[in-house]
Homo-oligomer: A and B are copies of this chain.
Amino acid sequence: MDVFFALSDPTRRQMVRQMADGPVTATELSRQLPISRQAISKHLAALDQAGLVKRQVEGREVRYTLNADGLENVTSWVSEVGHAWDERLARLKKVSSRKS
């Protein structure tokens, strides 16, 4: 799924931030957040499909760990756009200097 969509929800971003400090489970998060466990579970599924998180089953509970590689998709896209932007600015500067 899309990583930007996964991060578009404030609750999911908060979860990602939480997971940066260590792995968590769904019920664990449901105690910190004002929504039900099933809602959390849906959010975690979204983060999983976006490749932002790894799920590892341990006995009866499922532990979710942050996947830093998934975040790179975001930065790569942004830097790609930023690069094109910078190149355009460079071209504009070149032209204006040729003008003068």
Chain A residues within 8 Å of B, Cβ to Cβ: 2, 4-5, 7-8, 10, 13, 16-17, 20-22, 66, 68, 71, 74-75, 77-79, 81-82, 84-85, 88
Contacts and interface: CB of A to CB of B under 8 A. Distances in A.
Contacts of A71: 78, 81-82
Contact of A68 (B13, B17, B82): B82
Contacts of A74: 74, 78
A20 B78 contact: no
Given A74-B78, A78-B75, A8 B2 contact: yes
A20 B75 contact: no
Contacts of A79: 75
B84 A20 contact: yes
A10 B2 contact: yes
A50 B67 CA distance: 27
A85 B71 CA distance: 11
B20 A81 contact: yes
